[in-house]
Amino acid sequence: MKRIVGIATAVLALTMAARAETPTANQEGLSPGSAQVARALDKKLEQVTIHGEALPAALAQLGEEAGIRITIEDESADLLPWGPQTRLKAVNIEDASLAEVLPQVLGALGMTYKVQDDGVLVVASEPLKRINRRSTWDDLKLLRRCCEAEYSPETFSTFRLQYRITNKVDAPKMFMTQLSKAGRGTVAEMMEVATGALGWVWFPDGDRLVIRTSEAQIANLMSRRITARYTNQPLSRILVDLATKAETPIHFEPGMMLKLPQTTSQSYTLLLRETSIRQAFELISAETGLKYDIRRDGVYTGLSDEIGGTTPARRGSQYVGKISIPSGDGAFTYEFLLRSDELPDDVLEHRRQLIEEYVQKMRRDMAPNESAPQPK
């Protein structure tokens, strides 16, 4: 008889089933090293008992029982209520595999895992990462509920939502419309699909689910404070590393580094001490003349007018609007095209939300009319 008994933290009972990013049941496409790790995860453990261990030590001990290495990503551990010192009250396993046990242990902590060549890496789930602070037990309880509950309008009505979206658009209506088209799944899966279609994200915050734009989320991730030392390194490598620390894609204007002095582009020094990643970008911008722009799909960097001149600098900035002004006698109209870097952030956000709203209206207009007579 297979039993997984009494898996608990000091506060939460861990009974949630979660999905690993690489299912061990399907080893097709895995490298030889990863396939060997996956087989070890499927190995039955007759009896294992762990009491009162901090999560990293408990995971390491579970790995030893299966003959593999299990570690937790440092940044992910820091998101737990007590950081790496978050303890498991008890883990009792009888005739079960780690493939069955790990989802229960990790799921209630908002974690998942990746199978790699050298072992298993435990990482935070995307909603937990978006909190971008040390979580509370209420956060984890709500996230667990989202992952367990199958979506239905009735079930979803019991969740409290907070929209951190401009009030110039009807965010609740847009979200619920998209949610109705998201198919079937758990509340977490449905929210991921619906928010993703709108360029938004979601995460738990105490007793509510927060919804905000991808741009706002990236700005929040860039508020992380870091201590780092870069000495005589290529500037592009430094920018990529800063973006990686913010878990944000970075995009470069083509040829931008070629237009900078070689001493700047190839041998740049930057010292950061408890500095936010965004402040680091601001400092680089001030010292080199580069500019950056936060968009829904990452950070875009380019040359300022002072360095690249009008044409190169403008190449990275898109036209996003037009102003039409009639002449005094009405005989003609002045028209001015507007680029994204010429408008304030709140206006750009309002524009994007209006576009999303009208895209949804166009989709409804394009949908087939079931009441219309069908051609014979």
Position 374 pLDDT exceeds 80: no
| Cβ pair 59, 101 in contact under 8 A | no
Reported as a single tens digit per residue, the pLDDT across 14-52 is 333 333 444 454 556 678 878 889 898 998 888 888 888
Q: Determine how β-strand 161-164 pairs with β-strand 208-213.
A: parallel
Centre a 10 Å sphere on the Cβ of residue 132 and count the other Cβ atoms it contains.
17
Q: Is residue 46 part of a domain?
A: yes
Torsion sign, CA atoms 57, 62, 65, 70 = negative
| Cβ pair 58, 7 in contact under 8 A | no
Reported as a single tens digit per residue, the pLDDT across 333-369 is 888 888 877 777 667 777 877 787 777 778 777 776 6
Q: What is the largest CA-CA distance in the chain?
A: 90
Does one domain contain both 133 and 120? no
Q: 21: which DSSP letter?
A: S
Number of domains in the chain: 3
Give the CB-side neighbour count of residue 306, counting CA atoms within 13 A.
Answer: 7
Q: Is residue 301 part of a domain?
A: yes
Q: Is residue 334 part of a domain?
A: no
What is the CATH number for 17? Answer: 3.55.50
Residue 53 phi/psi, 5-degree rounding, is: -90, 145
Q: Is residue 134 part of a domain?
A: yes
Q: Is residue 152 part of a domain?
A: yes
Reported as a single tens digit per residue, the pLDDT across 256-296 is 999 999 999 999 999 999 999 999 999 999 999 999 999 98
| Exposure string for 338-348, b = 16+ CB within 10 A, e = fewer | bebbeeeeeeb
Q: Burial-class residue 14 by CB neighbours within 10 Å (0-12, 13-18, 19+).
A: buried
Q: Which domain holds residue 176?
A: 128-213
Q: Burial-class residue 327 by CB neighbours within 10 Å (0-12, 13-18, 19+).
A: exposed
Domain boundary residue, one of 269, 284, 319: 319
Does one domain contain both 153 and 95? no
Domain boundary residue, one of 319, 352, 370: 319
Q: Is residue 347 part of a domain?
A: no
pTM of the full structure: 0.73
Residue 108 phi/psi, 5-degree rounding, is: -75, -10
Does one domain contain both 310 and 228? yes
Does one domain contain both 51 and 146? no
Does one domain contain both 188 and 226? no
pLDDT band with cut points at 50, 70 and 90 for residue 12: very low
Does one domain contain both 142 and 203? yes
What is the CATH number for 271? Answer: 3.55.50.30
Instruction: Give the end-to-end CA distance of the chain in Å, rounded to a whole number.
Output: 60
Mean pLDDT of 170-181: 91
Does one domain contain both 33 and 112? yes
Q: Is residue 332 part of a domain?
A: no
Q: Is residue 311 part of a domain?
A: yes
Domain boundary residue, one of 175, 192, 213: 213
Does one domain contain both 94 and 46? yes
Does one domain contain both 177 and 259? no
Does one domain contain both 231 and 209? no
**What's at 11, amino acid-wise?**
V
Does one domain contain both 20 and 105? yes
